[in-house]
């Protein structure tokens, strides 16, 4: 993943609000443009992995920007979300992904991503403190030499605290940018986003 000169996109393509209107989802067009910009910088052989795909808005955005490997993990525990709906939305908007259905933590601990090199990781699932911290820790064995970790809802106190504790314990991770969301006067960034750069450091 080309992390060095990654820049947060300034303007969202009109495709994103249109698609979001149709698909529905817990995001803003800017968030979709952000994951797409990150996915577009993946390098051959790398994967985009997303935990929490719901109806597919962020997954469609990212997978349209990256022809290579894309993995969506969801247990479809949230109302209105289902595998069938996700597959239909992906097909309708020209996205693609391998969908791994189940609890993200069990799947990651069980080696579900074995053999993959994850260049972009988007975490948008359970946001309690423990899950958030585990969601960052458990992806580490699969990360590419350089990777971007994007965490949604970073305005929330428990998410913010988990990110801070993760950064404090993991010297290979450094926060590249923090985009405040609606509670910080920027509703265009939903509930806030944290962008973390990972450097395997060999
Ligand atoms: C906020 S939604 C994701 C929104 C999506 N990224 C979008 O663009 O609209 C969170 C999703 O995480 C899933 N989820 C929550 N806890 C999970 C877990 N432990 N394992 C797998 N998926 C989980 C829910 O089923 C839900 O679909």
Q: How far apart are CA 46 and CA 69, in angstroms?
A: 7
pLDDT tens, residue by residue, 9-67: 987 799 999 999 999 998 999 999 999 999 999 999 999 999 999 999 999 999 999 99
- The model's pLDDT over 64-94, given as tens digits with 9 standing for 90+, comes to 999 999 999 999 999 999 999 999 999 999 9
**Structural domains present in the chain:** 24-199 (3.40.50.150)
Share of the chain above pLDDT 70, in %: 99
Distance 168 CA to ligand 1 centre (A): 26
CB neighbours of residue 130 within 10 Å: 11
Q: Is the CB of 103 under 6 A from ligand 1?
A: yes
Determine how β-strand 173-179 pairs with β-strand 98-101.
unpaired
Comparing 10-24, 118-132, 166-180, which segment has the lowest mean pLDDT?
Answer: 10-24
The Cα 136–Cα 121 span in angstroms is 9
Q: What is the mean pLDDT of residues 194-202?
A: 88
Q: How many CB atoms lie within 10 A of CB 46?
A: 23
Expressed in angstroms and rounded, the spacing between residue 186 Cα and the centre of ligand 1 is: 23
Ligand 1 center from residue 166 Cα (angstroms): 21
So what's the pLDDT on residue 202? 54
Confidence of residue 5 (pLDDT cuts 50, 70, 90): confident
Q: Is 25 in the pocket of ligand 1 (CB under 6 A)?
A: yes
In order of 93, 163, 186, the CA distances from 131 in angstroms are: 31, 11, 26
Q: In the prediction, which pLDDT does 11 show?
A: 77
Residue 177's Cβ-count burial label (10 Å; 0-12, 13-18, 19+) is: middle
pLDDT bucket at 168, cuts 50 / 70 / 90:
very high
Whether residue 25 contacts residue 58, with contact meaning beta carbons closer than 8 Å, is answered with yes
Q: Which numbered atom of ligand 1 lies nearest the CA of 25?
A: 9
Answer yes or no: are the C-beta atoms of 69 and 46 closer than 8 Å.
yes
pLDDT of residue 199 exceeding 70, the answer is: yes
Mutate to test the pocket of ligand 1, among 27, 78, 84, 93 (most ligand atoms within 8 A of CB): 78
Alpha-carbon distances, residue 168 vs 2, 47, 174, 177 (angstroms) = 24, 26, 9, 16
Per-residue pLDDT at 102 exceeds 70: yes
Asked whether residue 105 carries a pLDDT value surpassing 90, the answer given is yes
């Amino acid at each position: 993943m080309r992390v060095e000169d990654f820049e947060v996109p300034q303007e969202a393509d009109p495709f994103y609000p249109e698609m979001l209107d149709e698909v529905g989802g817990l995001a803003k067009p800017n968030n979709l443009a952000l994951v797409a910009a990150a996915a577009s910088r993946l390098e051959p052989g790398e994967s985009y992995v997303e935990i929490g795909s719901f109806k597919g808005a962020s997954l469609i955005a990212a997978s349209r920007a990256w022809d290579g490997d894309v993995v969506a993990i969801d247990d479809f525990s949230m109302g209105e979300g289902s595998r069938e709906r996700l597959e239909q939305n992906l097909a309708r908007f020209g996205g693609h992904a391998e969908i791994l259905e189940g609890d993200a933590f069990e799947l990651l601990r069980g080696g579900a991503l074995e053999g993959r090199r994850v260049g972009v990781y988007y975490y948008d699932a359970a946001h309690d403190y423990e899950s958030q911290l585990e969601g960052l820790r458990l992806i580490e064995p699969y990360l590419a030499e350089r990777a971007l970790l994007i965490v949604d809802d970073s305005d929330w106190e428990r998410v913010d605290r988990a990110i801070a504790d993760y950064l404090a314990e993991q010297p290979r991770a450094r926060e590249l940018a923090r985009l405040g969301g609606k509670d910080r006067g920027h509703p265009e960034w939903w509930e806030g986003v944290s962008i973390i750069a990972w450097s395997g450091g060999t």
